[in-house]
Amino acid sequence: MPLSFSRTIATKNIVNSGSLLPYNTVSAADISSNLFKEIINVNNSKHTLSNETLKQILIDSFDPAPFINSSNLFNDFEILSIRIYTGPAYKKLNEDLRNNNQLDKKNSALNEGLNSAFKKIPINQKHIKTYRISDFNDFKSEGQTSQDAGYLSTSLDAELIKDIIYIPGGTASIIFGKSGICIDDFAVLSDEREVLYNKDTEFNILFKVKDENGTTKRVLEETILPKNTGKEERLIEALILP
């Protein structure tokens, strides 16, 4: 579970009050025949599915609530993918990615949409400090470099990691990075201050210790950052976890 949010419950309460498609857009029923042929033939073609086809797969598979695209960076397909990921869909997608399972049609489309969004992140984006909690230890030992096969959810809210300080077996992390997407404007729940990192993002484990309560505390640094970003004197407070 990426964050201790009630995103699953909240998503169930969302009512789909309309179509995500613009007026006069061809309906799913109208394009079902061509869509089926395109999906069947994709493995024998050098071309990938179009964004519109992938978007339609997401709409048909997840029945998401409507939204308005106010982004200057991401297209409708990419924002739709982010919104769907922040609901219950994240769990199955990450489970399959982390277990190297073959993705089904809907999760392949979801994964493609997220990949497309991450490709648009500016390389000169400012680095930030975020926080993450999990109920398992998903990285290697201190001093090593590792990566998560799934997407990594973090938060700008420092209060987040205080929730598990006394939960044995939990992990509290402070993460320095610059390639994450701040997804609050697109998420199902818009008050979580969530920053999402791409799958297979590499991190250096600067600090790792288990306290007397069995909680693992860590400081991670994205490998693309300048050397020792997380160890600079002006950021040394990051090494002092609650």
Q: Tell me which of 81, 153, 173, 179 is the catalytic residue.
A: 153
Nearest CA among 14, 31, 27 for reference residue 88: 14
Other beta carbons within 10 angstroms of residue 143's beta carbon come to 10
Is residue 210 a part of any domain in this protein?
Answer: yes
- Among residues 108, 66, 96, 60, the alpha carbon closest in space to that of 83 is found at 66
Respond yes or no: is residue 4 known to be catalytic.
Answer: no
The confidence score (pLDDT) of residue 233 equals 44
In the chain, what is the straight-line distance between the N-terminal and C-terminal CA atoms, in Å?
21
Q: How many domains does the chain have?
A: 2
179 touches 197 (CB < 8 A)? yes
Choose, from 78, 192, 194, 222, the residue flagged as catalytic: 194
DSSP secondary structure code for residue 91 in this structure? H
Give the pLDDT of the chain (242 residues) as one tens digit per residue: 445 433 433 333 333 333 333 333 333 444 344 444 444 344 443 447 788 889 898 988 887 877 667 678 899 999 999 999 999 999 999 999 999 999 999 999 999 999 999 999 988 888 899 998 887 665 678 888 888 899 999 999 888 767 555 567 778 889 999 999 998 888 876 667 899 999 999 999 998 888 887 888 889 999 988 665 555 544 445 555 44
Q: Which of 118, 143, 170 is the last residue of a domain?
A: 118
Q: Are residues 106 and 17 in the same domain?
A: yes
Asked about 132 being catalytic, the answer comes back as: yes
Nearest to 132 by CA among 162, 166, 89: 162
Among the candidates 98, 118, 138, a domain finishes at 118
Q: 74 is in which domain, residue-wise?
A: 7-118
209: domain CATH number is 3.90.176.10
DSSP 9-20: HHHHT----S-S
H or E, element range at 82: helix 76-84
Please indicate, yes or no, whether residues 77 and 156 belong to a single structural domain of this protein.
no
Going by C-alpha positions, the residue among 218, 217, 222, 216 that lies closest to residue 204 is: 222
User: Would you tell me how many other CB atoms lie within 10 Å of the CB of residue 129?
Assistant: 18
Is 194 part of the annotated catalytic residue set? yes
Q: What is the pLDDT of residue 172?
A: 85
For residues 86 and 50, membership in a common domain is answered with: yes
Residue 65 lies inside a defined structural domain of this protein: yes
Residue 174 bridge partners (DSSP): 131, 219
**What would you report as the CA-atom Rg of the chain, rounded to the nearest whole angstrom?**
19
Q: Using H for helix, E for strand and C for coil, what is the string for 167-178? A: CCCCEEEEEEEC
> Does residue 235 share a domain with residue 133?
yes
Report if residue 150 sits inside a domain: yes
Report the pLDDT value the prediction gives residue 20, as an integer from 0 to 100: 36
Residue 228 within a domain: yes
Q: What is the pTM of this model?
A: 0.72
Considering the domain architecture, whether residues 113 and 189 belong to the same structural domain is answered as no
Catalytic choice (7, 132, 193, 218): 132
Tokens matching residue 204: 């250096």
Asked if 133 and 173 touch (Cβ cutoff 8 Å), the reply is yes
Residue 149 sits in the same domain as residue 77: no
Name the E strands within the chain.
Answer: 128-134, 145-147, 152-155, 171-177, 181-182, 194-197, 202-210, 216-222
